[in-house]
Structure 1
Amino acid sequence: MILSIQHGFSYWWTLALSVVAAAFLVRLFILFHDCVHESFLPSKRANTWVGRVLGVLVFTAFDDWRLSHLRHHVSYANLDTRGFGDIWTLTLREYNQSSKLNRWLYRLYRNPVMLLGFGAIFNFLLRNRLPGRKVQHRQRMSVVFTNLAIVGVFLVAALTIGWQTYLLIQLPVIWLAGMGGIWLFYVQHQFEGGYWARRSEWDPLRAAMEGSSFYQLPTILRWFSANIGYHHIHHLNARIPNYRLPECYNDVPAVGAKEPLTLRQSLTAFRLKLWDESQQKMVAFP
């Protein structure tokens, strides 16, 4: 990509290469995600430091994101503990009882253009530059050091290839990778049927098996997404590394019986906006 700019090729060639680079960056984020769960490498220390390095590449502070993501794992599909590392989801009753302003904001948030397009830039370039809610000193410093490292990369690039070249490469890559990452996270928990429950009735087994999808992707996309499509297995046991998930799927009949979500079926997921507690399923806007 650097050479395509320096030798004066059409920028369309650079953008075409950015699609491939973004696919690799999505894979790096899943490896970063495995380090968060201490499942990528045998050593806890190795997972932490590899995760911190990968965090600079994916514009996400390791310790800060780790806290919010682990909260997601213990609270996902619980209607009384929403708000940690998940897609903003209202129940149908909550939506009907909301003010016009809140309804408008919710509709704007759930719009595919906003969620994928602007959401990718907002989350990875802006939101991740600040620590999460109710974090401790370690998580705050993680954000500070990650931000300093990103600035360091920018300065080195500016002195070697030029800051214009760096931005012409980095911005489309992080944007496309961000869209891919948000889409994967979206369809892992927002699909036909699904599972949500109030705290008193919440069942972690059902949350994993019914509230997390098995996203059946083509082989090449499964590799670039580091098997994160086996998401129901990941929520059953987050310590299983990504490279063992297909083996687990094939060897354990109970998880192999999970109905897959195909690529074509997943494209209809964006019409699902609200959780209907009476029907126990995701529904579209009224």
Structure 2
Amino acid sequence: MEEYLALPPLKRLAYRMYRNPLIMFGLGPSYVFLIKYRFNRKGAKMKERLNTYLINLGIAVVTGLLCWTIGWKTFLLVQGPVFLISSLFGVWLFYVQHQFEGTYFEKGDKWDHMNAALRGSSFYKLPKVLHWFTGNIGFHHIHHLSPRVPNYYLDRAHEENTMFQNVTPVTLLSSLRSLNFRIWDENRRKLMGFGYIKRFLIARKAKE
């Protein structure tokens, strides 16, 4: 929060716009998957660069073939809704698995791998059918603790280990509250909304 308050007004506005649900779950997914992931990150090694180039080439070839065989209008009518819906839910899953009530955040020497995995990423308790459709990614706390556990063993690892069951789950209903979380207050050690910042500033000004 202090970093946010130290920003100039235009950068604060940009951050508020970025955190707006309409942008984060509307324009955001399209930007991430259509534009951002089509380029390599700064300092990427050759293997990573080649991987990006090959994926881009594959997308271009498949898109071109489909547009040639069924027409570009039909392609957009079929692929457009599929892309928008799947990317929206993909971003939502990533969002709610890292920004939820009771999450963990530490800097430097205070950071702990075990706590970061089990408390800093959520157990998104979904109906069985949704766990299946999402490749068990709801067991995100286990994935962060040990990324080498294959997705089809995540539910089994959860059932067989008490330490994973002690994690407070995020449900479909409670996950909706994460839409109110905008910024981390290091004093209260919890995620807060922009309304809290306004009240914080008023209270601080009153003390001065």
Tell me the secondary structure at the aligned position of residue 267 of structure 1.
helix
| Residue 276 of structure 1, aligned match among 160, 180, 185 | 185
Per-residue deviation, 1:236: 1.0
Corresponding position: 1:131 with 2:40: yes
For 2:94, the equivalent position in structure 1 comes to 185
In structure 1, C-alpha distance between the alignment counterparts of 2:9 and 2:109, rounded to whole Å: 31
What does 1:121-270 correspond to in 2, within 5 Å?
Answer: 121-270=30-179
Q: What is the identity, as a one-letter code, of the residue corresponding to 2:34?
A: L
TM-score (norm 1): 0.67
Contact 1:124 1:174 in 2 (8 A): no
Higher relative contact order by CA 8 Å / sep ≥ 6: 1 or 2?
1
1:111 maps to a residue whose letter is: N
- Report the AA paired with residue 188 of structure 2: Q
Counterpart of 2:2 (choices 83, 93, 98) is: 93
Gaps of 5+ in 1: 1-91
Taking the aligned partners of 1:271 and 1:201, their CA distance within structure 2 comes to 27
RMSD across aligned positions (CA): 1.0
Structure with the greater alpha carbon radius of gyration: 2
Amino acid at match of 1:253: T
Rounded Cα–Cα distance in structure 1 between residues aligned with 2:43 and 2:16: 27
Aligned twin of 1:102: 11
TM-score by length of structure 2 reads 0.91
Aligned mates of 1:175, 1:254 — CA distance in 2: 37
Identity of aligned residues (%): 42
SS in structure 2 at match of 1:282: strand
Deviation of residue 159 (structure 1)? Answer: 2.2
**4+ residue runs of structure 1 moved beyond 3 angstroms?**
none
**What's the offset of the Cα at 1:113?**
0.7
Per-residue deviation, residues 71-121 of structure 1 (Å, max 9, x unmatched):
xxxxxxxxxxxxxxxxxxxxx111111111111111111111100110111
Q: Which moved more, 1:130-139 or 1:196-205?
A: 130-139
Shift of 1:133: 2.1
CA distance in 2, matches of 1:117, 1:225: 20
